[in-house]
Amino acid sequence: MPNTKSAEKALRQGKRRRVRNVRKSKAMKDVLKGLDRAITAKNKTEAIKLFPAAQKALDKSAKSNLITKNTASRRKSRLAARLKKLG
């Protein structure tokens, strides 16, 4: 339990931020999973359609410090390489 008013406020803020972060993280993971499924199933047209959405999700996550900029860049690069392998 927080002892001061500022600690109570910090706790409330932390709870709100956690909910927001979990929501953003889930949205990013859902997009990435969809693209991963399309690549695994060798569905090139679906994968090409989902790739810009995955890039956008990674960039937005990096912008809001959910993941680091380098992590977003690395994931985009690896996804592009996997997409390129499809042919």
Q: What is the pLDDT of residues 22-79, one digit of tens each?
A: 999 999 999 999 999 999 999 999 999 999 999 999 999 999 999 999 999 999 999 9
The boundaries of the domain holding residue 23 are 5-85
Q: What is the pTM of this model?
A: 0.86
Among the listed residues 43, 61, 14, the one whose alpha carbon sits nearest the alpha carbon of residue 51? 43
Number of domains in the chain: 1
Distance of CA 67 to the CA centre of its chain: 8
Tell me, what CATH number does 21's domain have? Answer: 1.20.58.110
